């Protein structure tokens, strides 16, 4: 198992995964778990927002196009939640098939194009968690 980023214990803040395609959600959750963090999976953006309110995550990994609340809207809603309730800034990885420019406009720190390689997801995960531990 890989080392945990300095200053943050995986059990204290989960990695929230918002993905409506179950096979992709499972792959992402496995990568998060292999990195030593606790994955929490939501099937759509509205459920992810509810889960974040229960236990503020260290990182958000979200699909762009989902039912009920898009990834872009989820990122914006969580930024508002952080500001309103004093939560730390929530870094976000946006997974998308529509292109990086559209995704960057959504407010994501990192963009991962579908289809993606596991190694690329792992690299972005570690970079994003590095941001979370410095917040």
Instruction: Give the CATH number for residue 58.
Output: 3.40.50.2300
pLDDT at 9: 46
List 95's β-bridge partners, or say none. Answer: 63, 112
Number of domains present in the structure of the chain: 1
Report the distance separating Cα 15 and Cα 57, nearest Å: 5
Q: Is residue 129 part of a domain?
A: yes
CA-angle at 49, arms to 108 and 31, nearest 5°: 60
CA nearest to 126, candidates 31, 48, 42: 31
Q: Profile the chain (135 residues) by mean pLDDT over runs of 10 residues.
A: 41 87 97 94 97 96 93 94 92 85 73 92 92 59
Domain that holds residue 112: 15-134
Tally the C-alpha atoms within 13 A of residue 10's C-alpha that lie toward its C-beta. 14
């Amino acid at each position: 198992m890989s080392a945990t980023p300095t200053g943050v214990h995986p059990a204290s803040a989960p990695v929230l995964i918002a993905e409506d395609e179950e096979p992709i959600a499972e792959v992402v959750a496995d990568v998060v778990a292999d990195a030593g963090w606790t994955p929490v999976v939501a099937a759509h953006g509205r459920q992810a927002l509810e889960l974040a309110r229960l236990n503020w995550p260290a990182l958000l990994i979200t699909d762009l196009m989902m039912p009920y609340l898009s990834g872009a809207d989820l990122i914006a809603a969580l930024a508002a939640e952080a500001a309103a309730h004093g939560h730390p800034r929530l870094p976000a990885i946006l997974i998308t098939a529509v292109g990086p420019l559209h995704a960057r406009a959504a407010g994501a720190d990192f963009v991962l194009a579908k289809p993606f390689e596991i190694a690329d997801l792992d690299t972005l995960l570690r970079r994003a968690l590095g941001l979370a531990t410095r917040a």
